Amino acid sequence: MKFSTRAIHAGQEADPTTGAVVMPIYQTVTYKFKGIDDPMPFEYSRVANPTRSALEECLASLEGATGGLCFASGMAAIDAVVSILKPGDHILSAAQIYGGTFRHFEHICRPRGIEISYVDCTDPENFRRAMTPGTKLVWIESPTNPLLQLTDIAAVAAIAHAGGAKLVIDNTFATPYFQRPLELGADVVVHSMTKYIGGHSDVLGGAVLTNDLKLHGAFKFYQKAAGGVLAPFDSWLALRGLKTLAVRMRQHEANAIAIAQFLKGHPRVRQTLFPGLPEHPQHELAKKQMSGFGAMVSFEIDGGRKEADQFVRRLKVFTFGESLGGVESLAAHPATMSHASMSPEEREKAGITEGMIRLSIGIEDIDDLRHDLDQALK
C-alpha cells in the first residue's frame, strides 16, 4: 500500500466487536486475565494499550520501521533514546539542534556522566573527525531547527557505523511523508508528534522508530519502567492527525514555497532560509534525500530584536507562539523561545540572531498569509 493509504489503515482494522471503523479510545488501565497461566495480549496500560499500539504500528509502517514506541512528549522520546547510555559514553551531536534537545544534553545527560560534543552538521567530515572510541550515538536533525540546514544522512550514517555508533535523527520537520531516514541508513528516528503528526496543536506526543530489534527492546523496557507513555486519548488524537498527514503536508509545502519566494524579494528581509529555494546551499541535497521541502521557513528581519518585536506584534493571521506543524500558521522568535535555554554566545555560535523569525506555514489561503506578512513587515 502507498503512504496515504497506510496512514489511514495501518494498525487500524475495524473493531472486531462492534465493527467501528475508527479505532476506539481504550480508556482503561487494566484488563481481565483468564487465569494464572493464560496470558492476555494486554495487561496494564503503561505496558501497552490498544489505541497506543495502533498508533505505534501505523507510525512504524510510515517510517518503514519494524518497531515504534510512543511517549508523552517529544522530549520523553529523546530521553528514552539516551537512556541506553552509561557514564563515559559519548554523544556526537550536530551543533544545529532544537534548544530543548540541547538543554537535555547539557543539563540532564552531562551531569549523568555522558560526554557530548557538537559539530557543524553541513559537512559529514566534521563528524568523522570528531568520532571517539566512546561515541555511542551520533545525533542530527535534518532540516535543522531553526536554520533549516541539511545533513547528508547516508554519509553520516556510514561514518557513525564505521565507528561503532548508532545514528539518531530527529525527523520532526520533514515528517515521514517527505523523508524516511531509516532507508538512508539511520538507526533510530525520533518525532515530536506534537507537530505535524498530530497536526492540529491539540496533543503532546513523541515517537521512537527503529529497525534494530535490540534497540527497540531497550527502548520498550524504558517505556515500561519509566512510564512516560502516551495516554489513550492522546494516541487517538495522533491517529486522527495521521490520517490527513499526506494531504496536509502537500498544502503546507505549497504555501511554504510561495512564502519563501515572497520573503526573499522583500526589502525588509536580510535573508530567507528554506531548502526549496534554489539558492539554498543544500538545495540539491534536499532534492536527493527528501521527497519534498517541508513547510518551515526562517528569515532574518532587517534590524534586530526591536524590529522583530514590532513585526510579531503586527501579525493578524499568523499567531506569535511556540510550537509548529499545526494547520494554523505560527511565527516564533527562536532566540527567546525554542532556543532560549542556550546562552547568547551559544546562540551566536549556532547562527541564531536576535532578528531571526521562524515561520511554521499553515494551510490557510496563501493570499491571506502573504498579505499578513507584508503588512507586518511594513
| pLDDT above 70 as % of the chain | 100
**Do residues 60 and 67 touch, judged by C-beta distance below 8 A?**
yes
Q: What is the pLDDT of residue 340?
A: 85
Q: What is the pLDDT of residue 85?
A: 98
Q: 330-332 and 296-301 as β-strands: parallel, antiparallel, unpaired?
A: unpaired
Active-site annotation holder among 6, 31, 46, 212: 46
Per-residue pLDDT at 25 exceeds 90: yes
Q: What is the pLDDT of residue 342?
A: 82
- Fold entry, domain 3-243: Aspartate Aminotransferase; domain 2 (3.40.640)
pLDDT mean across residues, the chain:
96
Pull the grid cell for residue 38.
493464560
Whether 305 is catalytic is no
Whether 15 is catalytic is no
Question: What are the residue boundaries of the structural domains of the chain, listed by start?
Answer: 3-243, 245-377
Whether 98 is catalytic is yes
Q: What is the pLDDT of residue 17?
A: 84
Average pLDDT on 23-34 reads 94
Q: What is the pLDDT of residue 345?
A: 87
Average pLDDT on 187-201 reads 98
Per-residue confidence band for 38, with pLDDT thresholds at 50, 70 and 90: confident
Per-residue pLDDT at 348 exceeds 90: no
Active-site annotation holder among 79, 170, 187, 234: 170
Per-residue pLDDT at 20 exceeds 90: yes
Per-residue confidence band for 180, with pLDDT thresholds at 50, 70 and 90: very high
SS (H, E, C) the chain: CCHHHHHHHCCCCCCCCCCCCCCCCCCCCECCCCECCECCCCCECCCCCHHHHHHHHHHHHHHCCCEEEEECCHHHHHHHHHCCCCCCCEEEEECCCCHHHHHHHHHHHHHHCCEEEEECCCCHHHHHHHCCCCEEEEEEECCCCCCCCCCCHHHHHHHHHHCCCEEEEECCCCHHHHCCHHHHCCCEEEEECCCCCCCCCCCCCEEEEECCHHHHHHHHHHHHHHCCECCHHHHHHHHHHHHCHHHHHHHHHHHHHHHHHHHHCCCCEEEEECCCCCCCCCHHHHHHHCCCCCCEEEEEECCCHHHHHHHHHHCCCCEECCCCCCCCCEEECCCCCCCCCCCHHHHHHHCCCCCEEEEECCCCCHHHHHHHHHHHHC
Per-residue confidence band for 191, with pLDDT thresholds at 50, 70 and 90: very high
Pull the grid cell for residue 192.
515530536
Per-residue pLDDT at 129 exceeds 90: yes
- Residues 313-336 pLDDT 10s: 999 999 999 999 999 999 999 999
Q: What is the pLDDT of residue 351?
A: 84
Average pLDDT on 253-281 reads 97
Active-site annotation holder among 26, 79, 98, 196: 98
Question: Is 245-377 the same fold as 3-243?
Answer: no
Average pLDDT on 83-99 reads 96
Per-residue confidence band for 347, with pLDDT thresholds at 50, 70 and 90: confident
pTM of the model: 0.96
Q: What is the pLDDT of residue 298?
A: 98
Active-site annotation holder among 195, 248, 347, 358: 195
- Residues 222-242 pLDDT 10s: 999 999 999 999 999 999 999
Whether 195 is catalytic is yes
- Fold entry, domain 245-377: Aspartate Aminotransferase, domain 1 (3.90.1150)
